[in-house]
Structure formats: structure tokens, C-alpha cells
Amino acid sequence: MKKLSLLLAGCALVMGLAGCAAKTGSGAADTSSAAVMTSGGAPSKALSSAEASSSGVVESPDLSPTKDLSVTREGQTETLPAHLETGTAGYYIYMLDDFALAPSDDGDIIRPKADSDLLQTIYMRIARSDGSASLPADSQNSDGIVIKYQRITKGNSVFDVEMGYPAEAAEGGAVLLGAMLDTLNAQR
């Protein structure tokens, strides 16, 4: 009897959520889903708001699992597909499909996938910060890698970002990093 009561309560919850789905401008139902990412970066499935809350995934009702980013590299504007990724430091970011996110001791590192045509020396490190320490000055190391630092505040969250790329990639790979960084936001 107890199992039947739980089953009926679960069905009522699902039906209630389905009835509360908002209509988007296209007329399609918006079920407020959050993407669950696999280690490869692709969404394994979209969760409903109720599933997301119970699984520990931060609910982001206004975010799609995928998005097209417009970038201008070397004078040419193009639209590139990106997927929603959740960082270990409490943020979400749309990552271009040629990039992968990996956690490290000093922040998440985003770099080109090994099978990508992009230079493997391009990277971005994102770490949560309290904002009290000064950021290092931008520099270029002996290998010709330009290293730039930036502090980003989103709501009550502060993130320190380090981007590295070869000087010759300033209008190519660096632009891709910037396009992804523009989508960074703190989890709710």
C-alpha cells in the first residue's frame, strides 16, 4: 500500500510539472531541463526540473544543453556549435565542441581535444576566488605563449581566469577562448 501511495504521488508530481511547462516564443513547451554532462562533455540526457533538483544538478531553466556561438576569427565571422558544461568551481559555460574541460588542483582547465585541429598550447583555467589576491600581470613566456589574467564577478561568485595561447593564435584560438568565456555564469 505504501509503494502504491508513493507511485501515485510521483505520477501526480510528473503530471503537475508537465502541466506547468511554459510556452516559448516558438510555441514549443519549455520543460526547464538541465543537462547532465558525461566525462566526454556531451549531454548524457536532459533532466526535468524535479530530477535535476533531486540529483544535485543545479537547475538552470533558461539554459539549453546546446547553443551556437558567433565568433569572428581572422576577419571571418562564423557560427560554431557549443554544449553546456558544468565546472567544479560552481559555474556553467558553453564549450565549443573542439574543447574539453578537465578538473585540476588549481581550477578547471579547458583545452582543445586531442583530435582537434587547434593548437594544443591553447588553454583556459577557471577557478573560484575570494577576490582578495592580486592577479599576476599579463605576460609572454619564453615559448611564446601569451598568458592573460582576468577576474570575473557573477552575482556573489568570483572567478579568476587564466588564458594561454601562442602569440600567433591571438586572432584564432584566443578568440575561441573569449567566446566561451563570455558565456560563463555562476550556478544558482
Residues 6+ apart with CB under 8 A from 176: 71, 73, 80, 96, 98, 99, 118, 122
Element (H, E) at 47: strand 43-47
**Mean pLDDT, residues 151-160:** 95
pLDDT in tens, 100-149: 999 999 999 999 999 999 999 999 999 999 999 999 999 999 999 999 99
In a domain, 30, yes or no: no
Taking alpha carbons only, the member of 127, 140, 109 closest to residue 148 is: 140
pLDDT in tens, 40-82: 333 333 333 333 333 333 445 578 999 999 999 888 999 999 9
- Residue 107 is part of which domain span? 64-186
In a domain, 3, yes or no: no
Compute the distance between CA of residue 149 and CA of residue 147 in angstroms, rounded to an integer. 7
Taking alpha carbons only, the member of 120, 116, 126, 112 closest to residue 159 is: 126
The residue written with cell numbers 514549443 in the block is 28
In a domain, 35, yes or no: no
In a domain, 39, yes or no: no
In a domain, 74, yes or no: yes
Count of structural domains, the chain: 1
CATH number at residue 133: 3.40.1000
In a domain, 172, yes or no: yes
